[in-house]
């Protein structure tokens, strides 16, 4: 019986840690995505317009600098949620949950690094500035990584996390419905409607706030 006490203490602390990490992630990623959507138009006919505007270029650079911190907070969020699930986790959904989360972070970092390289070359001077074809290709690669592949992994993460939470009765029905609808919207509209990308950080924020309120009430 004595060996169960540290596990109980960890279980009591985990919801608050998950809430803090989830809120930090949602705010950082939401701000980063918002800056990118506003500053880098999705019109493929203007792949390099935002690079020529110092204000837009600065906004995108700020967004890219927020991405590593959002990724760190997200990894922490994954860790504490997985610890919360513990020995009761469903192996199938737990594998999908962990794999989709790690793939999301990897693609998010890859997209940010690619966009950051374009900005660095554009700001280095006319001699090092990429040509129109390079800009168009770079923009397409960045957009595919962030708005198609990463967002679909975010959709899978949302759905699998919601399913695990429902099976363990960690969230109410309304929050489960929000999770499934958000995941379905991200899965089906990834790359088509940029503003819907904010559904993922919004879901993480609501999920985390619920965990924090549940912890405070207990």
Please tell me the distance from the alpha carbon of residue 13 to that of residue 9, in angstroms, as a whole number.
6
Q: What is the mean pLDDT of residues 133-139?
A: 71
Domain residue spans in the chain?
A: 2-217
DSSP structure string for 32-92: HHHHHHHHS---TT-TTHHHH-HHHHHHHHHHHHHHHHHHHHHHHHHHHHHHHHGGG--HH
- Kindly report, residue by residue over 144-194, the tens digit of the pLDDT: 898 899 999 999 999 999 998 888 888 899 999 999 999 999 999 987 888
Work out the widest C-alpha separation in the chain, in whole angstroms.
Answer: 70
Tell me if 160 sits within 8 A of 97, measured CB to CB: yes
Q: Which pLDDT belongs to residue 217?
A: 56
Please tell me the distance from the alpha carbon of residue 33 to that of residue 39, in angstroms, as a whole number.
10
Lowest mean pLDDT segment, chosen from 25-29, 37-41, 92-96: 37-41
Tell me if 106 sits within 8 A of 44, measured CB to CB: no
Stronger pLDDT, 17 or 205, i.e. the higher one: 205
């Amino acid at each position: 019986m004595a060996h169960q006490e540290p596990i109980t203490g960890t279980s009591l602390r985990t919801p608050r840690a998950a809430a803090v990490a989830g809120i930090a992630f949602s705010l950082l990623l939401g701000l980063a995505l918002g800056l990118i959507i506003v500053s880098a138009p999705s019109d493929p006919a203007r792949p390099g317009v935002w690079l020529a505007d110092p204000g837009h270029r600065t906004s995108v650079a700020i967004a890219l600098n927020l991405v590593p911190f959002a990724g760190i907070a997200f990894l922490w969020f994954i860790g504490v949620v997985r610890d919360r699930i513990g020995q009761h986790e469903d192996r199938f959904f737990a594998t999908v949950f962990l794999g989709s989360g790690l793939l999301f972070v990897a693609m998010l970092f890859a997209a940010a690094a690619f966009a950051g390289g374009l900005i660095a070359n554009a700001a280095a001077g006319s001699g090092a500035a990429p040509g129109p074809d390079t800009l168009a290709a770079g923009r397409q690669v960045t957009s595919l990584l962030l708005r198609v592949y990463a967002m679909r992994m975010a959709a899978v993460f949302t759905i699998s996390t919601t399913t695990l939470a429902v099976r363990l009765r960690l969230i109410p029905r309304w929050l489960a419905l929000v999770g499934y609808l958000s995941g379905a919207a991200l899965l089906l509209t990834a790359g088509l409607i940029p503003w819907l990308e904010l559904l993922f950080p919004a879901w993480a924020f609501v999920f985390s706030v619920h965990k924090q309120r549940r912890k405070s009430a207990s």
